[in-house]
């Protein structure tokens, strides 16, 4: 594996060209099912947003193989520092869809109590899926710090920080890789190069020959992998994870993929992505790619896809119904969790807000649409 | 009881915390074998090893960002930013991340960490080794902002900050590092955050101050006393969350208020004190609140003694509000 040579496992005919896949049939089918569940969750959230039932979503279509492949290389005791386009990783490790849907609706059962935009998940169980923030790259040095703590305690866990191609231009990428290289921290950097940072193509993001090669100057080995190939991403991530567990230090993985949709529900990619690029990558759809491989192993047929897709859509639908019927958080949730204890000045502001609501009625909620 | 400088008290607090809790780690630029550019971390690497006190690459964003990750995962980071003037690359990490983790995760993830940094003028440091940036951070819910002015408080407040479940920005008045000595108990004790300290009792004028302005105000109050004006001098020592009740009470006691800080006036902390008094104690006031502050200019080098509030300016303000 190298920074300039693309690692691919699944061949066009579904073969693996002599690679040792190293996964049981159950594991492979868990990957497949998670691909379908991720896509079903994504599809449904887009529809919920278009019909005005939620305010915002972040499409995942096209980049699922990178998420599932990376998640499949991790244990549940490892820590994920995700970006906002990573919910496939949470699904892979068993986060219930309804928990994710509570966040999409920002209701009273949302872990973040409705304080964050949709898709800004935070989970501690069954896996550490660290609270997502919107600023780009800030979580990269945080993953290095969490990894330092693991190393200091002699644990064999690792941290994985996931970010996009645009994230490599951030301050956090520079400081994160600098620190990880010096500390030999047990961390894996996963750059999901989907070729577009909102509307900015890689050619305007960097003059570097690749993102993977950027690791070299930090003393962090860089690996370029086919991001639409679940098995290639898993293989590259597993090698990086095992290296980190052994004390070998960090790795930068660039997964080359494509976002088959807009940046968010507020974005129209037809304004900047050439039509031909969409057409080209439709053919490289990561789900179809994995199905080819499974079919060759006699683990797949059309019926399986139909059955699991139907089940996944029903699961999302049920989750959405529960989340939608769950009430909004109470006003008091605005004022808690700022600090461990509520300080006097915040308590007073809360009491004034309750008092005003009693006297003048609740504030008007607006239509909840993200206007960009 | 030892007699220590404020700097030695900081060092003593760090050693005490590190002896008591193996999760406490200290890091930053030059804090390792060198012991920091001011020697606040002197001897820590030797006593606790390189895993507990260590140098980092020259990146404030990395220092605070990595510190956040350590705090999320069970360590108690106490990181140093060499000068507060250099903290701004870490502004995103402090304001968008450390201060918001508890809130944005509904308490699932928290950031108990301390960011220590020397601030303020008086060492001929010019624009970039002299600033007082507390107001930027006091505008950040989720963060605590603490500024000691005595060796006793420096140790007690730092130990309380390290024990605190939330992120604390600990601003150390570098002008006072070696200027004054005071008695400091050995071992562990704490000074509660969000409490005021009465520096001096007085019935005529209330002077609010913090950090390096405390001894300046003390001296100005002594000079005022010679002229028959007795000043109540209050050291705020935790700016966020502020003991608002204590401030309002101290303002009511005299009805005449002077607020002193080194930072520029516009949108400075003095504005908040003034607004609190206007909102909650206006009927007790005998004179308009007067602010004595740095100018609304960058911090000058050669003429820093004109920029920083001194006894003349504070005394002038005390006399003004007293005679109003």
Count of domains forming chain B: 2
User: Nearest Cβ partner of B69 from A111, A143, A344?
Assistant: A143
Which tokens sit at A274?
A: 């050439």
> Which residues in chain A have their CB less than 8 angstroms from residue B90's CB?
none
On the question of pLDDT at B278 being above 80, the answer is yes
Round to whole Å and give the CA distance between A116 and A133: 9
- Min Cα–Cα distance to chain A from B146, Å: 15
Kindly state whether residue B108 falls inside one of the protein's structural domains.
Answer: yes
Residue A117: predicted pLDDT: 95
In this prediction, residues A330-351 reach a mean pLDDT of 96
Among B residues 139-158, those touching chain A with beta carbons less than 8 Å apart: 141-142, 144
> Which residues in chain B have their CB less than 8 angstroms from residue A141's CB?
61-62, 65-66, 68-69, 93
Claim to verify: residue B170 and residue B233 sit in the same structural domain: no
- Min Cα–Cα distance to chain A from B184, Å: 29
Claim to verify: residue B239 and residue B287 sit in the same structural domain: yes
Claim to verify: residue B151 and residue B283 sit in the same structural domain: no
Claim to verify: residue B140 and residue B245 sit in the same structural domain: no
CB–CB contact A172 B65 (8 Å) = yes
Give the active site residues of A. 259, 263, 272
Q: What is the pLDDT of residues A216-232, one digit of tens each?
A: 999 999 999 999 999 99
Chain B contact for A163 (CB, 8 A cutoff): no
On the question of pLDDT at A1 being above 60, the answer is no
Claim to verify: residue B244 and residue B290 sit in the same structural domain: yes
In this prediction, residues A305-316 reach a mean pLDDT of 98
Claim to verify: residue B251 and residue B159 sit in the same structural domain: no
Claim to verify: residue B160 and residue B45 sit in the same structural domain: yes
Round to whole Å and give the CA distance between A251 and A237: 9
Round to whole Å and give the CA distance between A114 and A140: 25
Round to whole Å and give the CA distance between A219 and A225: 19
Which tokens sit at B207?
A: 């002077």
- Min Cα–Cα distance to chain B from A43, Å: 25
Domain finish residue from B184, B212, B237: B184
- Min Cα–Cα distance to chain A from B55, Å: 11
Among B residues 96-135, those touching chain A with beta carbons less than 8 Å apart: 96-97, 100-110
CB B241 within 8 Å of CB B221: no
ipTM: 0.97
Tell me which of A181, A332, A339, A350 to substitute to probe the interface with B (most B C-beta atoms closer than 10 Å): A339
Percent above pLDDT 70 for chain B: 100
Domain finish residue from B141, B157, B184: B184
Round to whole Å and give the CA distance between A170 and B92: 12
Q: How far is CA A83 from CA A53, A136, B125, in A?
A: 24, 8, 40
pLDDT band, very low/low/confident/very high, at A369 (cuts 50, 70, 90): low
How much is the pTM? 0.97
Give the active site residues of B. 129
In this prediction, residues B258-268 reach a mean pLDDT of 98
Chain A contact for B71 (CB, 8 A cutoff): yes
On the question of pLDDT at B242 being above 80, the answer is yes
Round to whole Å and give the CA distance between A56 and B141: 25
> Which residues in chain A have their CB less than 8 angstroms from residue B245's CB?
344
Kindly state whether residue B45 falls inside one of the protein's structural domains.
Answer: yes
Percent above pLDDT 90 for chain B: 99
Claim to verify: residue B100 and residue B222 sit in the same structural domain: no
User: Closest-CA residue in chain B for A348?
Assistant: B244
> Which residues in chain A have their CB less than 8 angstroms from residue B166's CB?
339-340
Q: What is the pLDDT of residues B120-129, one digit of tens each?
A: 999 999 999 9
Kindly state whether residue B88 falls inside one of the protein's structural domains.
Answer: yes
Which tokens sit at B175?
A: 């002008």
Kindly state whether residue B191 falls inside one of the protein's structural domains.
Answer: no
> Which residues in chain B have their CB less than 8 angstroms from residue A123's CB?
108
pLDDT band, very low/low/confident/very high, at A371 (cuts 50, 70, 90): low
> Which residues in chain B have their CB less than 8 angstroms from residue A345's CB?
241-242, 244
Handedness of CA B272, B276, B277, B282 (dihedral sign): positive
Claim to verify: residue B178 and residue B201 sit in the same structural domain: no
Chain A contact for B192 (CB, 8 A cutoff): no
User: Nearest Cβ partner of A149 from B57, B73, B103?
Assistant: B73
Among A residues 313-352, those touching chain B with beta carbons less than 8 Å apart: 337-340, 343-346
pLDDT band, very low/low/confident/very high, at B323 (cuts 50, 70, 90): very high
Helices A171-183 and A139-152 sit at what angle, rounded to 10 degrees?
20
Tell me which of B65, B111, B280 to substitute to probe the interface with A (most A C-beta atoms closer than 10 Å): B65
Task: Enumerate residues 6+ apart whose C-beta is below 8 A from B301.
Answer: B124, B125, B126, B127
Helix (H) or strand (E) holding A176: helix A171-183
How close are the terminal C-alpha atoms of chain A, in Å?
41
Query: Could you say which DSSP state residue A327 is in?
Result: P
In this prediction, residues A287-292 reach a mean pLDDT of 98
Claim to verify: residue B177 and residue B201 sit in the same structural domain: no
Kindly state whether residue B192 falls inside one of the protein's structural domains.
Answer: no
Residue B283: predicted pLDDT: 98
Residue A362: predicted pLDDT: 84
Tell me which of A113, A143, A145, A171 to substitute to probe the interface with B (most B C-beta atoms closer than 10 Å): A145
> Which residues in chain B have their CB less than 8 angstroms from residue A102's CB?
none
On the question of pLDDT at A332 being above 70, the answer is yes
A253, β-bridge pairs: A190, A223
Kindly state whether residue B244 falls inside one of the protein's structural domains.
Answer: yes
How does the average pLDDT of chain B come out, rounded? 98
Q: What is the pLDDT of residues B153-197, one digit of tens each?
A: 999 999 999 999 999 999 999 999 999 899 999 999 999 999 999
A197, β-bridge pairs: A200
Range of the domain at B97: 2-184
- Min Cα–Cα distance to chain A from B163, Å: 12
On the question of pLDDT at A233 being above 90, the answer is yes
Kindly state whether residue B25 falls inside one of the protein's structural domains.
Answer: yes
**Cis link prior to B141 (omega < 30° from 0)?**
no
In this prediction, residues A105-129 reach a mean pLDDT of 96
Residue A367: predicted pLDDT: 67
Round to whole Å and give the CA distance between B94 and B90: 6
Claim to verify: residue B276 and residue B312 sit in the same structural domain: yes
In this prediction, residues A34-61 reach a mean pLDDT of 96
Question: Which CATH number belongs to the domain containing residue B26 in this structure?
Answer: 3.40.50.970
Residue B275 CA, chain-centre distance (Å), reads 21
Kindly state whether residue B189 falls inside one of the protein's structural domains.
Answer: no
User: Closest-CA residue in chain B for A139?
Assistant: B65
Task: Enumerate residues 6+ apart whose C-beta is below 8 A from A43.
Answer: A61, A313
Percent above pLDDT 90 for chain A: 94
Question: Which CATH number belongs to the domain containing residue B252 in this structure?
Answer: 3.40.50.920
CB–CB contact A339 B241 (8 Å) = yes
User: Nearest Cβ partner of B107 from A153, A337, A344?
Assistant: A337
Q: What is the pLDDT of residues A132-188, one digit of tens each?
A: 999 999 999 999 999 999 999 999 999 999 999 999 999 999 999 999 999 999 999
> Which residues in chain A have their CB less than 8 angstroms from residue B194's CB?
343
> Which residues in chain A have their CB less than 8 angstroms from residue B93's CB?
138, 141
Domain finish residue from B127, B161, B184: B184
Claim to verify: residue B164 and residue B282 sit in the same structural domain: no
φ, ψ dihedrals at A32, nearest 5°: -65, -45
Q: Which of A196, A236, A177 is nearest to A3 (CA)?
A: A236
Q: Is B318 exposed, middle or buried (0-12, 13-18, 19+ CB in 10 A)?
A: buried
Percent above pLDDT 70 for chain A: 98
Q: Which domains does chain A have, with CATH numbers?
A: 6-325 (3.40.50.970)
How does the average pLDDT of chain A come out, rounded? 95
- Min Cα–Cα distance to chain B from A115, Å: 6
User: Closest-CA residue in chain A for B94?
Assistant: A138
């Amino acid at each position: 594996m190298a920074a300039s040579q693309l690692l691919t496992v699944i061949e066009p005919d579904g073969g693996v060209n002599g690679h040792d896949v190293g996964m049981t049939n159950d594991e492979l089918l868990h990957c497949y099912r998670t691909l379908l569940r991720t896509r079903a969750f994504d599809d449904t959230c887009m529809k919920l947003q278009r019909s005005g039932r939620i305010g915002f979503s972040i499409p995942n279509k096209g980049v699922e193989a990178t998420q599932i492949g990376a998640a499949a290389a991790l244990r549940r005791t490892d820590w994920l520092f995700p970006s906002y386009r990573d919910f496939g990783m949470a699904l892979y490790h068993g986060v219930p869809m309804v928990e994710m849907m509570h966040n999409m609706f920002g209701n009273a059962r949302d872990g973040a109590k409705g304080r964050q935009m949709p898709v800004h998940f935070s989970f501690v169980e069954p896996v550490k899926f660290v609270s997502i923030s919107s600023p780009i790259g800030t979580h990269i040095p945080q993953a290095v710090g969490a990894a330092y703590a693991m190393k200091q305690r002699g644990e064999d866990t690792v941290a994985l920080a996931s970010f996009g191609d645009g994230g490599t231009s951030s301050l956090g990428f520079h400081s994160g890789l600098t620190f990880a290289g010096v500390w030999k921290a047990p961390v894996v950097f996963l750059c999901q190069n989907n070729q577009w940072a909102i509307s900015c193509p890689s050619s305007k993001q960097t003059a570097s020959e690749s993102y993977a090669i950027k690791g070299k100057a930090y003393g962090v080995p860089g690996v370029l992998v086919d991001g639409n190939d679940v098995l290639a991403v898993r293989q590259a991530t597993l090698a990086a994870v095992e290296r980190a567990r052994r004390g070998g230090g960090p790795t930068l993985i660039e997964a080359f993929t494509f976002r088959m949709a807009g940046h968010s529900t507020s974005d129209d990619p037809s304004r900047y992505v050439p039509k031909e690029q969409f057409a080209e990558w439709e053919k490289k759809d990561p789900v179809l790619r994995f199905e080819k491989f499974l079919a060759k192993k006699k683990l797949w047929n059309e019926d399986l896809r139909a059955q699991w897709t139907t089940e996944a859509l029903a699961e999302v639908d049920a989750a959405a119904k529960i989340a939608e019927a769950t009430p909004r958080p109470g006003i008091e949730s605005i004022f808690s969790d700022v600090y461990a204890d509520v300080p006097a000045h915040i308590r007073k502001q809360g009491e004034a807000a309750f008092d005003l609501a009693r006297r003048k009625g609740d504030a008007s909620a607006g239509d909840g649409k993200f206007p960009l | 009881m030892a007699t220590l400088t404020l700097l030695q008290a900081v060092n003593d607090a760090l050693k005490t915390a590190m002896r008591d809790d193996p999760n406490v780690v200290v890091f930053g630029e030059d804090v390792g074998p060198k012991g920091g550019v001011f020697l606040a971390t002197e001897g820590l690497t030797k006593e606790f090893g390189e895993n507990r006190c260590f140098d980092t690459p020259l990146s404030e964003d990395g220092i605070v960002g990595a510190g956040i990750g350590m705090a999320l995962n069970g360590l108690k980071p106490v990181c140093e930013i060499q000068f507060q003037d250099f903290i701004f690359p870490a502004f995103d990490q402090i304001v968008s991340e450390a201060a918001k983790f508890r809130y944005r995760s509904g308490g699932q993830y928290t950031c108990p960490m301390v960011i220590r940094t020397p601030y303020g003028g008086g060492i001929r440091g010019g624009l970039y080794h002299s600033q007082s940036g507390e107001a930027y951070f006091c505008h950040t819910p989720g963060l605590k902002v603490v500024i000691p002015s005595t060796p006793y408080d420096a140790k007690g407040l730092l130990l309380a900050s390290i024990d605190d479940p939330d992120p604390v920005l600990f601003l150390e008045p570098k002008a006072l590092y070696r200027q004054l000595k005071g008695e400091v108990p050995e071992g562990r004790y704490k000074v509660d955050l969000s409490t005021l300290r009465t520096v001096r009792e007085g019935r005529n004028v209330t002077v609010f101050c913090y950090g390096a302005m405390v001894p300046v105000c003390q001296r100005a109050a002594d000079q005022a006393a010679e002229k028959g004006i007795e000043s109540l001098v209050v050291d705020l020592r935790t700016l966020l969350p502020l003991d608002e009740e204590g401030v309002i009470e101290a303002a009511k006691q005299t009805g005449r208020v002077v607020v002193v800080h080194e930072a520029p006036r516009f949108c400075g902390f003095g504005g908040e004190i003034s607004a609190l008094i206007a909102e909650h104690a206006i009927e007790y006031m005998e004179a308009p609140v007067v602010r004595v502050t740095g100018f609304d200019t960058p911090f000058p080098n050669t003429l820093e003694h004109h920029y920083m509030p001194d006894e003349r300016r504070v005394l002038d303000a005390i006399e003004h509000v007293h005679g109003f």
